[in-house]
Amino acid sequence: MITGAANGIGAATAHRFADEGAAVVLADIDDDRGTALAKEIDAGGGHASFVHVDVGSADDWARLRDHVGKLHGRLDVLHSNAARVVVGAAHELSQTDWDDQLRVAVTAAWLGARTFIDQLRDARGSIVLTSSVHALVGMPRHPAYAAAKGALTALGRQLAVEYGPDVRVNTVLPGPILTGMWDRVNDDERRASAAATVAKRLGRPQEVAAVVAFLASDDASYMTGASVVVDGGWSIVKDSA
**Cis ω before 143 (30° cut-off from 0):** no
Annotated active-site residue in 50, 145, 163, 234? 145
Task: Tell me the residue length of the chain.
Answer: 241
Q: Which of 230, 59, 7 is nearest to 136 (CA)?
A: 230
Helix (H, G, I), strand (E, B) or coil at 61: helix
b/e map 59-70, b = 16+ CB within 10 Å: ebbeebbebbee
222 noted as active-site residue:
no
Would you say 203 and 149 are in contact if contact means Cβ atoms under 8 Å apart?
no
Report which secondary-structure segment, H or E, holds 174: strand 168-174
Q: Using DSSP, how many helices (H) and how many strands (E) does the chain show?
A: 8, 7
The residues annotated as belonging to the active site are: 145
